[in-house]
Amino acid sequence: MNALIQRYTARERSNHWVVALAFVLAALSGLALFHPAFFFLTHLFGGGTWTRILHPFIGVLMFLFFMAMAARFWGFNRITPADRQWMKRIGDVLCNRDQNLPELGKYNAGQKLLFWVMVVSLPLLLLSGIVIWQPWFAPSFPIGLLRLAVVIHALAAWIMILGIIVHVYAAIWVKGTIRAMTRGTVSAAWAKHHHRAWYREMTGK
C-alpha cells in the first residue's frame, strides 16, 4: 500500500474551505448585483435587499480568513528559479512531459501565481468595496471616486473568478490533488511525481 504524507492540517483545511465557501457566496451575490442578467441569483440570498446587505459582510469574512491563510503559507509561495524554469516549460506541463520539468517545492508556479493574484485582488476588493458600501461609507466619498471604485471592484472580482476557475480545474485535472484538501494527505507517489523537492523535504529521501 502506498504511504501517505500529510499536506495540510485540519485547521488549514478548515480555513481553506471557509475561504472557498465565502468566495462562492461572494461571487454569486456579486454577480447578482453586477448585471440584471444575473439578478435571479438574488433568490439564493432571500431577494435583492438581502443580497445587497449580505454581500459586503461575506466579502469581509473571505478577506479575513484568506489573510490568515496567506500569512501561514506566505513563505511557500516565493517565486524561485525552479518556478521560472517550470513556467518556461509550460508546454511540457500541459502535455504531461514531467520528465523535462524541474523539481518543485510544496507549490508549483501556477499555484504561486494564483496565490499572489489573490493577495493583490482581495485587498483591492476590500478597499473598493468599502468605498461603495451603501449606506455606511459610500456617502462619504465623491462621485468620481465611487465610479473608480466600482470599476476596480468589478475588474478585481472577474480576475479572481477566472483564477479560481483555473484553480478548480487544475485540482480536478491532477488526479490525487483534491484528496489533500478533503483528507489532508497525499500519496507518496503523488508527492514524488508532482513536488519532488517537497517530497525530499518531508521524507528525507
**What 3-state DSSP class applies to 186?**
strand
C-beta of residue 132 within 8 angstroms of C-beta of residue 151: no
What torsion, rounded to 10 degrees, do the Cα atoms 110, 183, 161, 18 define?
Answer: -130
Give me the catalytic one of 167, 193, 194, 195. 167
The phi, psi pair for 187, rounded to 5°, reads: -75, 150
Active site residue 195: no
- As a whole number of angstroms, the distance between CA 76 and CA 192 comes to 17
Which among 97, 98, 87, 157 is positioned nearest to 126, based on CA atoms? Answer: 157
Cβ-Cβ contacts under 8 Å for 10 (sequence gap 6 or more): 184
Which residues participate in catalysis according to the annotation?
167
